[in-house]
Amino acid sequence: MQSRKFQTVDEYISSFPEVREKLEEIRAIIKEAAPKAEELISYNMPGYKLNGMLVFFAANKAHLGFYPGTSKVEGFEKELAKYNGTKASIHFPYDEPLPAKLIGRIVKHRVKENDALAKIKGEKKKAKASG
């Protein structure tokens, strides 16, 4: 929706007054589900990082985009069936309530995935160092 470069999530959210409440809501849901995640701007949209990137969100013309990566549908297919999207995104219409519990569960799922990947990488580094 905008072409300016954002430095902070607060700056990003404040630039979309017409959907600010929805942006603040999804931000709060993500922070509650992943309280240790670092909040940042990446790809010029709000993102959250914990042992790698977790999720992003963005204001679009007709929907709030939620980007949990390619794993978004594993285990959530039925609940996501009513939403449009792509392989790596979910589109939440502005005129519907956000599915807070579903978003929270997806974020927690991503935290577990990243934790598992970090553990595997750590074990590989340890094996290389000792071998």
Strand ranges for 44-107 from DSSP E: 45-49, 53-59, 63-67, 84-86, 89-93
- CA atoms lying within 13 Å on the CB side of residue 53: 15
> Is the pLDDT score of 129 beyond 70?
no
Q: Which fold has domain 9-130?
A: Aspartate Aminotransferase, domain 1 (3.90.1150)
**Which residue is it, tokens 């160092």?**
129
Distance CA 98, CA 60 (A): 15
As a whole-number percent, the residues of the chain with pLDDT over 70 amount to: 89
Higher pLDDT, 122 or 120: 120
Q: What is the pTM of this model?
A: 0.88
**pLDDT at position 67:** 96
Q: Could you tell me the residue ranges of all domains in the chain?
A: 9-130
